[in-house]
Amino acid sequence: MAEQTVRYFHRQPTVFLNKKKLLSGKGKKNLRYVRSVGLGFKTPREAIEGTYIDKKCPFTGNVSIRGRILSGVVLKMKMQRTIVIRRDYLHYIRKYNRFEKRHKNMSVHLSPCFRDKTEVGDIVTVGECRPLSKTVRYNVIKVTKGSGQKKGFVKF
Amino acid sequence: MGISRDKWHKRRKTGGRMAQMRKKRKFELGRPPSNTKLGTKRIHTVRTRGGNKKYRALRLDIGNFAWGSEAVTRRTRMIDVVYNASNNELVRTKTLVKSCIVQIDATPFRQWYEAHYAVGLGRKKGVKLSEAEESILNKKRSKKTQKKYTERQKTGQVEKALEEEFSTGRVLAKICSRPGQCGRCDGYILEGKELDFYLRKLKTKKGK
């Protein structure tokens, strides 16, 4: 079921599927490469037990999380394996001694292990990784449920 | 140079155009693809950044292929390009690229297997063996060496799909090197789930 969507044999490149013991039919469970992201983030069960192949997933793929860790609110989930999050912040104007609200949208990669768990409005923790595409440099490493319908400005 | 790999010709994330800041630079250069074909070896070398070399293979016919489950690698001739996931045109023109599926000559692997396990591989039942092959397969051995071979034969079973390929003399393999960059065409023999996947793809293509 993992390789059905593409025209080549979709596999994790670090897993050798053809060891003799497996070929003769005696093999046990599915070989899968899973790693921990570090910094105290738990790798989700879906990543360990799932069968998806995603080379940009921080838990089962070839990206390392290093550098900044940010958070944001999920805005849109229309892209394949990547979402748009919104980060709000306050900018200080010195002349008036007051703040103004600003926001930035960011495209971040969403691993298939989080796909069913996130909805628009959830708060998401993202970690910096190497550039994954033209605009994506961050990867979702944790999802916490949003507070429902409360719209408005949330500072992080 | 015509092909360049710059970023400033693309639009921004917001959709706005980027004003041209500078002319094309040499470090942004790109070169035309090599499209290495199946044929007698022809390799051109390219001088790259820093004075280093890239070997642009224009025609190749021999590659170093690995048999993963047995951990043996042999140099064999490539016979035919059979499948390419990206582009069927590349199959038609017999272009060698990374991750295309080729048929390779199976004899070096069969020779190794029969010498290592003293069991025939992909041989038709009932066909009389020539004298040279007889001497390898059914050699008179001392008890000690015979024990060695029987011990090996315990783990020597080859999966059915692969054995069928050996009987035809052509084995499916996947190219893992980049011929236009390193000038070599190396890869590994398809086995297990991967072999099933590609055999199915080939069958549907032939059936169409």
Q: What is the pLDDT of residues A7-59, one digit of tens each?
A: 888 888 888 888 876 666 655 567 899 999 999 999 999 999 988 999 999 99
How far is the C-alpha of A145 from the C-alpha of A124, rounded, in Å? Answer: 8
Of B155, B159, B198, the CB nearest to A9: B198
| Crossing angle between the packed helical segments B192-207 and B160-168, to the nearest 10 degrees | 60
**pLDDT number for residue B50:** 95
Q: Are A134 and B10 in contact (CB < 8 Å)?
A: yes
Residue A150 has pLDDT above 60, yes or no: no
Per-residue pLDDT tens digits for B123-179: 777 666 666 666 667 777 788 888 888 888 888 888 889 999 999 999 999 999 999
Q: B85: distance to nearest CA of chain A, Å?
A: 5
Q: A147: distance to nearest CA of chain B, Å?
A: 30
Q: What is the pTM of this model?
A: 0.84
Q: B129: distance to nearest CA of chain A, Å?
A: 28
How does DSSP classify residue B14?
T
**pLDDT number for residue A33:** 92
Q: Are B85 and A6 in contact (CB < 8 Å)?
A: yes
Q: A144: distance to nearest CA of chain B, Å?
A: 28
**Nearest residue on chain B to A25, alpha-carbon basis:** B159
Please report, for residues A132, B13, B47, B59, B181, the alpha-carbon distance to residue B5 in angstroms, rounded to integers and kept in the order given: 17, 18, 18, 26, 17
Judging contacts by C-beta atoms under 8 Å, the chain A residues touching residue B191 are 18, 23
**pLDDT number for residue A27:** 56
Percent with pLDDT over 90 in chain B: 70
Residue A82 has pLDDT above 60, yes or no: yes
Average pLDDT over residues B170-197: 94
Q: B130: distance to nearest CA of chain A, Å?
A: 30
Q: How confident is the model at residue A3 (pLDDT cuts 50, 70, 90)?
A: low
Classify strands B72-84 and B100-105 as parallel, antiparallel or unpaired.
antiparallel
Token code pair at residue A1: 């079921």
Of B13, B192, B198, the CB nearest to A23: B192
Judging contacts by C-beta atoms under 8 Å, the chain A residues touching residue B85 are 6-8
Q: What is the ipTM of this complex?
A: 0.80
Q: How confident is the model at residue A156 (pLDDT cuts 50, 70, 90)?
A: low
Q: Are B69 and A19 in contact (CB < 8 Å)?
A: yes
Of A17, A24, A135, the CB nearest to B193: A17
Q: How confident is the model at residue A75 (pLDDT cuts 50, 70, 90)?
A: very high
How does DSSP classify residue A49?
H
Helices within chain B (DSSP H only): 88-92, 107-117, 131-137, 143-153, 160-168, 179-182, 192-207
Amino acid in the structure at residue B20: Q
Per-residue pLDDT tens digits for B81-125: 999 999 999 999 999 999 999 999 999 999 999 888 888 888 777
Judging contacts by C-beta atoms under 8 Å, the chain B residues touching residue A8 are 85, 99
Judging contacts by C-beta atoms under 8 Å, the chain B residues touching residue A3 are 197
Please report, for residues A25, A81, B165, the alpha-carbon distance to residue B160 in angstroms, rounded to integers and kept in the order given: 12, 38, 9
**pLDDT number for residue B95:** 95
- Phi/psi region, residue B32 (left: phi>0; alpha: psi -120 to 50; beta: rest), is beta
Pick among A4, A6, A8 to test the B interface (most B CBs inside 10 A)? A8
Judging contacts by C-beta atoms under 8 Å, the chain A residues touching residue B86 are 7
How far is the C-alpha of B45 from the C-alpha of B56, rounded, in Å? Answer: 6
